[in-house]
Structures are given as structure tokens and as C-alpha cells.
Structure 1
Amino acid sequence: MQHFPVFLSVAGRRIVLSGGGEAALAKLRLLLKTEANITVFAADPHADLLELAAQKRLRLVQRHFDYGDAMCARLVYAANEDALEDARVIAIAHDEGALVNVVDDLHNSDFITPAIVDRDPVTVAIGTEGAAPVLARAIKADLEQRLPSNLGLLARMGKAFRAAADILPMGRKRREFWADYYFKSGPRAFETAGKQGVQNALETTLDRHLFTDGRKGHVDLVGAGPGDPELLTLKARKALDAADVVIYDRLVSPEILELARREAIMVNAGKEGFGKSMSQDRINDLIVQHAKDGHHVVRLKSGDPTVFGRLDEEIDAITAAGIEYRIVPGITAASAAVAQIGQSLTKRDRNSSVRLVTGHDMKGFADHDWRALAQTGEVAAIYMGKKAARFVQGRLLMHGADPLTAVTIIENASRADTRVIATTLQDLEPTMTDAGLNGPALTLYGLSPRDAVQAASTLPAKEAAQ
């Protein structure tokens, strides 16, 4: 270890920076987050530096750095973008006993400024001894995603509450209280009621841990998106990280299930149209029972839970049991599919509205206002339409739809084994049957792929890669 990591107290202390260009401004973006008194020496300062000085955010001296300027400085930064001038700053600073950092010059720097994840007062510093700055940036990006943006507020309020929490016995009970607050009750309260909600959560969470075993169940109704794990929202990823129990649908991809925490109980609640499936009542019972047992339950649904996801039935069961819940939306299959073919669901002078319809429901093939769809020129995204393809085709043609209306079938939208099949309404069947689709398929009525996209994506994934 060439550089020893420390957190230096700079509140009310002096930090000096020499330089007036882009490099100086880049360094100041970080330094201005501190409570230090910052002085900048620049003979020809950037306009943004003049503005920062006018705002009293720093002291600007419009001349070159010289002897006496580093006196009592905790740190000195040389950001002149000129090797000779930086060398002069180093010599003066060392003569006056200050530590110097030279921007983009590890060899001549006494200290380095690491990549920082700022959730004040929670700060994470990442350094690689200058060996791999790109790796430090990647780690920083990953931590930025994992640590909630409100963590700083939660930490400040938690710190003020520590004396009250000391009523809990030292050890497991106190640890469980703080884990509950920081990772469950606190973030949820902030989402729904802001700062006041967090204060209330601290008090109610303390009461719960003081007078009970502290466990309180919660349900997250989470959209897993169309299958590509990179399309999973950050909030969904965090829910999977925290879940005690994951109750998932058949169409959720294995790659997304792999993101659940290793200790989580995984429950397959697969439902398949016209085939074997777990009843909705049974799924409701599982959700409620696990939550009553004090678990954090993630009900993981393919796509977006608010689109053909039987969401209301599950919410009714959860609320009837007096359990708290949260809905975490996901990217629905229609959005992923239309993006894959290079189109949009709405377009000026083509269609100002779009219909999301399902090919079948609990009673069988679903009936909709096919006449309106056939005659208005709207675009429709048809979910669960494989077995209903001939029914949909017949209804639209019967109500006067143009047989040559473009239709695109997308199997496994967003996944590695995706397929795109361009056809027309008159050929929807037998095209659908002849394609031998095995994965989930979405039918886009009124849209065809852009040529460049179609040429690449109609091939099976393995062939397209060759």
C-alpha cells in the first residue's frame, strides 16, 4: 500500500488551489462539497471561477501562486495544466510545509484524491494507487447505484436519534433496529412522507423493536422488465438485494433471478395461459403468509406489474391482511419490443394513441372493441397472443381492417434469443404457428420493423452473431 487512506478534517481549514482553467474547475467540483475555506490563485481565471467568487463560495486571487500563499494550508492543489508552473507550486508548498497534489501527476503528488461516493455524512472513497482509474470509476458507479440517494439524510437523522435508541440492549436487538431503519422502514418512510415520515419511522421502529421481536413483514410488487437484466430498474434491483422471499412468475428470466440475495427463499408461482399454473388465490395466500411471518417479500412479475399482472387482486389480499406494500414499476414488453424494431408506439400524423390488449383472459380468448381498432388506424400491442392469433386476425378482418396492415411478432423481447417476424394481418396465421415460438411473444399491430433493424433481428441470435 503506497497511499494510506485517511479522512482529513478540513472544516474551517484552508485548502489552496493554483490554476484557473478546466482542470482547476474539475477539482473544485469536489472540493466545494467540503466545509473548507478555499482560496484559488489564478492570473487568468475561467469565467466560472469568477462566478464562484462572486457567489462567495471561494476566495479568488487573480495572480500566480507565490511564497506565503501556502501558509497554514491543509492541502495544496496544483492544477495549472503547465508542468513548469506546477513544479514551481510544488517547491513553494513544500518549503512552507504543505502537502501537494498535482492534477494527473501521481509521481509528483504527496497525496491522491480518490473516487468518492458522496452520501454525506456517509462517504466512500475508492483508490487504485493510480493503476486503474477506469476501475475506480466503475466501482464508484456501481456503489452510486446501490446506495440510495437519501442515505445521507437517513444517516444524519439516525445520528441524532442514537441516544434514544440506546434504550435497546447492546447487541443483536440494537443491530436489528438500525438495520431495519436504514434498509427498510427509513427508505420506505422517506418515499411516502419525506423527512417527517423518517422521523416517525424512527420512533415507530424503535417501539416495535422495544416491545416485540422487531420483525414486520412488507411486500414489494416488483416489475422484472422484459428479461434483459440491464433493463431492471435500480429500485427493483435493491428490492431483490433485500428480499427474504421472492415469489416469481414463469416468464422472469433466470439472469434476473440470479440477482436475488443468496439467502432468499425462491418460490416459483408460474402461471401459463391454457396450461398448468398456481391459482391466484394460492399466490395471494403465499404472499400474505410470508409477510405475516415477518419477511420482506418480493412478488416478482415479468414486465410491469400494472399491465396485465393481476396486481389488484394481490393488493386486495395484502391490504386485507393489514400488510404494508409498495409497487415498483418495470419496463413493459411493449416498450422493449417496439424499441427493438426501431419504432415508437406513437408517432405524429400516424397514431396519437396506442392500445395495450390481451389475447386471452380467465374466460378464454378476450373480446375487445375490435371494430374501433380495425377502423381507426391505431397501433396495438397484443400480449399473450400466440394461441389467440387466429381469433384476433378473424375479429379484425371481420370488422374491416386492411388485410395488408403491418404486424410484427417479437419473441423473447430484449433477450439474447430474441426473434422478430414481420408479416401482415392477412398472414398472421399461419405465420404465428409456422414460427414455432417457444418463448413469450408480443404482437405489434400496425407496426413493421425499420429495415436495418429487421435484417439483423429476424435471424436467431446465434446466426446473427456470426
Structure 2
Amino acid sequence: MQHFPIFVALSGRRVVLSGGGDAALAKLRLLLKTNAHLTVFATDPAPEIADWATAGRLDLQRRAMQSGDAIGAVLFYAADEDAVADARTSAIARAEGALINIVDNLEDSQFITPAIVDRDPVTVAIGTEGAAPVLARAIKADLEARLPVGLGTLARIGKAFRKVADALPMGRKRRDFWADYYFRDGPRALDQGEDAVAETLDRLLDRHLTIEARPGHVAFVGAGPGDPELLTLKARRALDEADVVIHDRLISPEILELARREAVLVDAGKEGFGPSMSQDEINALIVRHARTGAQVVRLKGGDATIFGRLDEEIDACAEADVTWHIVPGITAASAAVASIGQSLTRRDRNASVRFLTGHDMKGFADHDWKTLARSGEVAAIYMGKKAARFIQGRLIMHGADPATPVTVIENASRADQRVIASTLASLPADLTAAGLSGPALTLYGLAPRAAMATLSEIKQQEFA
């Protein structure tokens, strides 16, 4: 992140701009929405700027900017659309303590003005580090279409009510009150006018002052294979409501970013074949947080019901009288097979598919390898990197064709996804050569479909 996003308080403060053409007009149209004291220096200002000055909306100086003109200014815009003039005025402003923005000169600017969605007092700022203004405008248009015009009115009325709402205790009880206002009761009342909205706030506060706080609860949420776009809507809502998120080690940072900023994030730290938090410790952690009244999300990679030790954690909740529910997710096998353009089952090939885990070696060793070794069988093997030689030996020993295709997908669905096409005969050697470091899923009996687009190409097609 090259530019840290902040909102600068401009009410009653001085902002200076040098320029009188199109670039100046674009900046001034935005700045005039604030309560800043605007001063413009322009020898030949556009008629609109002159009109704004006549109306008292800004101070227009019909001359070039000189030393001393930016004293006391918090922000300065160089908008003369001339490199030499912009360099001269920005040097003055910088020396006199203002943060400077040079229009269309990202490298020499100290700050940038983002694309803005204005639902005053709700403001959404969109920045792309200057790399893709067209993308910023597209996002802006999309958000403007999604956010109702009345949102600003609700926010303005709600802002005036905030001190009254402080009667509610901090935390979930207060958040529940505001959620009901903005997403349920408030929008319904808005159609009847602002007075109806104010009355609704009073009734809503009375109700929330008397109702008991929600008890602690646990949502077991499948986070999918890693791509945040593959999260379900229900999973997103659970993250939005969570006070505590207890997550697996391999949950992608992009998904953790979707949790509320105030939520407590706890890395459960389970790691196959290495040091990790014990399952008993995880169970106790879940119960302890839920007993404080927290809404807990136990975030598991893929689908929580597949090789996720879900039953043990549910049993711990049940024994502690903690309520829970399950939010399914897309399992890694589904993402992995999609990435190679295949299906897990196919008519006239296989009517069933096996899900195996290489982590539980005792159960793995006892598997029905003779049946899997038959022609046309398909298996999705989770956490099987270190068991590759064992898999190869068991299958060949039971008659599997050494030429059977085997595909290993590392970081399925993520930007750094890798696909290793192999065969049963060469699997251990190919994995050693690949040097995989991320989570990988092995698809036995399937090869990548020819002419498959790469993940980056697919992303480009989706955007287009």
C-alpha cells in the first residue's frame, strides 16, 4: 500500500489551488462539497470559477501564486496543467507546510484524491494508486447503483442520535441496535419522512434497552479453498457478525481481511506432521469465547464437514450447552478438479469418487486399495504430499496401471495455484522436483483437460 487512506477534517481549514482550467474545475467541484476555505490563484480563470467567487463560495486571486500564499493551508492542488508552473507552485506550498497534489503527477504528489461515492455523511473513497483510474470509476459507478440515495439521510439522522444510543453498552448490543436501524427499521420508516425515522429510532432504542443480549454462539464456517470470491454469502454474513474468528493456519489473508476490524482473530495453528495446537486446546478455546457471550466463527479451510474434525468441536459445544450451526463451504476437491477442467464423476467411467486423507496414516493404510486400483477409479486425496510414495506402492501392488494419470494441485483456486501433471509411476519424483510448499490436493485417475485456460486468463475473462 503506497498511499494510506485517511479522511482529512477540512471544516474551517484552508485549501489552496493554483490553476483555472479543466483540471482546476474537476478538483474544485469536489472541494466545494466540503466546508473548507478555498483560495484559487488563476490569471485566467474559467467562468465557473469566477461565478463561484462571486457567489462567495471561494476566494479568487487573479494572479500567479507567490511565496506566502500557502501559509496556513492544509492541502494544496497544483492544477495549472503546465509542468514548470506546477513544479514552482508545489515547491512554494511544500515549503509552507501544505500537503501537495500535482494533477496527473502521481510520483511528485504527497497525496492523491480518490474516486468518491457521496452519500453525505457516508463517503466511500476508491483508490488504485493511480494505476487504473478507469477501474476506480467503474467501481464508483457500481457502488452508486447499489447504495440507495436515502442512505445519507439515514446516516445524518443516526449521527444526531449517537449520544442517545450511548445508553446501550459498547459491543454487540450497540451494534445490533444500529444494524436494525440501518438495514431494517430505518429504511422502512424513510418512505414516511424524516420525522418517522426519528420516531423509529426512539422506539428501537427502547426495545434494545429491554431485550437481553444474545447468548454466545458458534458458527462452523467453511472458508472454501482460498479464493475469497468462492466464499458463500452465508459465510460472508457470519464473518460480518463475528466477535471472535478462530481460524485454521491455511486460511488465506484475503479471507481474514473480510472479518470485522474489531473482531478478535485467533490462529488455531493446526499443522499436519508438525507442531500445532492440540484439538483439545481448540475445543476449549471455542467454548471459552462462546461462554463470554461472543458470536464465534470457527473458520475452516474448504468445507468444514470434510476432514475438519468437526464432530469433536461440535461435541465440545454440546457438552458446554453452547449453540452452534454449520455453514458449508466449497471443498478443495471441487476447486482442484475445476482448475483442470475435469469432473469428479463421469458417465461410463466412474459412478463414485473417494475422498481420502493422507494425514491419518493408520486409516489411510487400511483403505481398500484393491478397489481403487481398478481402471477408471477416481480419488481426491487431501494432505497427501508426504504420502506419495506410499500411495504409489499400495496401488501398484494391487494391480494399478503405472501409467494412470495423477494430478496434484497446489493452492487450488488461489493466484499462486500450480498444477503438476504426473502419472502413478512418476508421482514421487515429480513432487520432489516441484518442491511444493503450499497445501496440495492429489487427484488420482484424472489428468488436466487439454487447452485449459490458465487461472490468470480466467480472471481476465471474468473481469471483461
On whether the aligned pair clears a TM of 0.5, the verdict is: yes
Query: Is structure 2 residue 337 aligned with structure 1 residue 333?
Result: no
Measure how far apart 1:207 and its partner are.
11
In 2: Cα distance, 1:374 partner to 1:356 partner: 15
Query: Any gaps of 5 or more consecutive residues in structure 2?
Result: 1-28, 30-121, 125-135, 149-164, 184-205, 460-464
In 2: Cα distance, 1:291 partner to 1:448 partner: 45
In 2: Cα distance, 1:326 partner to 1:140 partner: 35
Q: Secondary structure at the match of 2:356?
A: strand
Deviations 1:276-298 (A, max 9, x none): 11000000000000000010111
AA partner of residue 377 (structure 1): G
Q: Using a 3 Å threshold, how does the CA distance of structure 1 residues 458 and 178 change in structure 2: closer, same or farther?
A: closer
Q: Secondary structure at the match of 2:385?
A: coil
Query: Is structure 2 residue 436 aligned with structure 1 residue 434?
Result: no
In 1: Cα distance, 2:171 partner to 2:254 partner: 32
Query: Is structure 2 residue 142 aligned with structure 1 residue 138?
Result: yes
| Counterparts of residues 367-382 of structure 1 (less than 5 Å) | 367-375=366-374, 377-382=376-381
Q: Using a 3 Å threshold, how does the CA distance of structure 1 residues 368 and 305 change in structure 2: closer, same or farther?
A: same
Query: Is structure 2 residue 411 aligned with structure 1 residue 415?
Result: no
Deviations 1:76-105 (A, max 9, x none): xxxxxxxxxxxxxxxxxxxxxxxxxxxxxx
Q: Secondary structure at the match of 1:433?
A: helix
Aligned-pair identity in percent equals 66
AA partner of residue 430 (structure 2): T
Measure how far apart 1:452 and its partner are.
1.6
CA contact (8 A) 2:215 2:293 kept: yes
Query: Any gaps of 5 or more consecutive residues in structure 1?
Result: 2-123, 127-131, 145-168, 188-205, 462-466
Measure how far apart 1:356 and its partner are.
0.9
In 1: Cα distance, 2:302 partner to 2:272 partner: 16
Measure how far apart 1:138 and its partner are.
2.2
Q: Which residue of 2 aligns with 1:443?
A: 442
Deviations 1:16-61 (A, max 9, x none): xxxxxxxxxxxxxxxxxxxxxxxxxxxxxxxxxxxxxxxxxxxxxx
Deviations 1:323-365 (A, max 9, x none): 1111111111011011111111111112111111111217585
Q: Which residue of 2 aligns with 1:311?
A: 310
AA partner of residue 167 (structure 2): G
Q: Which residue of 2 aligns with 1:388?
A: 387
Deviations 1:168-225 (A, max 9, x none): x9931699668548969xx9xxxxxxxxxxxxxxxxxx9997486x251011111111
In 2: Cα distance, 1:241 partner to 1:142 partner: 18
Q: Using a 3 Å threshold, how does the CA distance of structure 1 residues 356 and 181 change in structure 2: closer, same or farther?
A: farther
Deviation larger for 357-366 or 329-338: 357-366
Q: Using a 3 Å threshold, how does the CA distance of structure 1 residues 182 and 346 change in structure 2: closer, same or farther?
A: farther
In 1: Cα distance, 2:434 partner to 2:179 partner: 47
Of 167, 180, 190, the match for 1:171: 167
Q: Secondary structure at the match of 1:172?
A: coil
AA partner of residue 387 (structure 2): A
Deviation larger for 300-309 or 371-380: 371-380
Q: TM-score under structure 1 normalisation?
A: 0.56
Q: Secondary structure at the match of 1:423?
A: strand
Size of the aligned set, in residue pairs, is 289
CA contact (8 A) 2:177 2:208 kept: no
Q: Which residue of 2 aligns with 1:267?
A: 266
AA partner of residue 171 (structure 1): A
In 1: Cα distance, 2:167 partner to 2:231 partner: 36
CA contact (8 A) 2:404 2:445 kept: yes
Q: TM-score under structure 2 normalisation?
A: 0.56
CA contact (8 A) 2:358 2:382 kept: yes
Q: Using a 3 Å threshold, how does the CA distance of structure 1 residues 315 and 376 change in structure 2: closer, same or farther?
A: farther
AA partner of residue 142 (structure 2): A
Q: Which residue of 2 aligns with 1:67?
A: none
CA contact (8 A) 1:247 1:268 kept: yes
Q: Using a 3 Å threshold, how does the CA distance of structure 1 residues 141 and 440 change in structure 2: closer, same or farther?
A: farther
Q: Using a 3 Å threshold, how does the CA distance of structure 1 residues 302 and 170 change in structure 2: closer, same or farther?
A: closer
In 1: Cα distance, 2:439 partner to 2:309 partner: 17
In 2: Cα distance, 1:252 partner to 1:288 partner: 21
